[in-house]
Amino acid sequence: MSAEAAGRASIMPLRDLVRLYRCHAGRFGEPVALSGFGLTNAETERLFSGYDEDYHISRFFHFSEAAGEKFLVNGIPATHVSLDAEILSIL
């Protein structure tokens, strides 16, 4: 595991993030507000920016901007995230 991945894991391991996403979304592909993950603004931005920088993980994440609290994911405003079901293949 890279140092960056280890830093993300200290906030929330990917497996836990996917589990929490599924609880909120009900099914893969549904947008979930980034504010719904129960993290501070700084933690939310760090967690999702870190996962977004990892090609093997980021391809399953889809960020969007809609109504709601805005966060910067690698400098790009986002309010929601949806995950592809294929992310299960890397857990």
In this predicted model, what pLDDT tens digit does every residue of 6-47 receive, in sequence order? 565 578 999 999 999 999 999 999 999 999 999 999 999 999
Residue 77 has pLDDT above 60, yes or no: yes
The Cα 61–Cα 56 span in angstroms is 10
Cα–Cα distance, 71 to 50 (Å, whole number):
13
Q: Can you tell me whether residue 22 is helix, strand or coil?
A: helix
Q: What is the pTM of this model?
A: 0.89
Q: At what angle do helices 3-11 and 41-53 cross, to 10 degrees?
A: 140
